[in-house]
Amino acid sequence: MQRASRLKRELSLLTTEPPPGVTCWQNGNQLDELRAQILGGADTPYEKGIFNLEIVVPERYPFEPPKIRFLTPIYHPNIDSAGRICLDVLKLPPKGAWRPSLNISTLLTSIQLLMAEPNPDDPLMADISSEYKYNRQLFLLNAREWTEKHARQ
């Protein structure tokens, strides 16, 4: 019961006061399956891209973080080809930084920040990470191409 009322509260906040560049909604009538969209930030290779994400809220939420993955392909060192995201707030301690005080809005904002500022020292995609570190121009070119190909509406 606690989970349902918290999710309803979070969703209504996400509807009335969404973080800039983020939208989130219920997928059908399932309260534990959400969809989100993140707009690629200005001055990033993802600019003008619209990225779709899937959010699955576990039974134990907020004591366990939601599972979030990209449905739109994205060229990024911390996001793999299945859309999985390497980000500490998406994992439980001791390896992660999830806390029940965090919410879906915070997570989506953190993912948006990760898109703008990749963390090449904790990659899911080693090849993209080394490209980001040692050949930034090529990384930017590839990321822009992928955005153009997969994330433009």
The count of C-alpha atoms lying within 13 angstroms of the C-alpha of 125, restricted to the half-sphere facing its C-beta, is 20
- The residue annotated as part of the active site, out of 22, 86, 108, 125, is 86
pLDDT at 153 over 90: no
The pLDDT value recorded for residue 31 is 85
The pLDDT value recorded for residue 55 is 98
Query: Of 143, 111, 112, which Cα lies nearest the Cα of 40?
Result: 112
Q: Is 24 tagged catalytic?
A: no
State the DSSP H helix or E strand holding residue 112, giving kind and residue range, or none if neither: helix 104-116
Split at pLDDT 50, 70, 90, the class of 137 is: very high
1-151: in CATH 3.10.110.10: yes
Query: How much is the mean pLDDT over the chain?
Result: 96
The pLDDT value recorded for residue 151 is 97
Alpha carbon distance 74, 47 (integer Å) = 12
What's the pLDDT tens digit per position in 24-58? 999 988 889 999 999 999 999 999 999 999 999 99
The domain spans of the chain are: 1-151
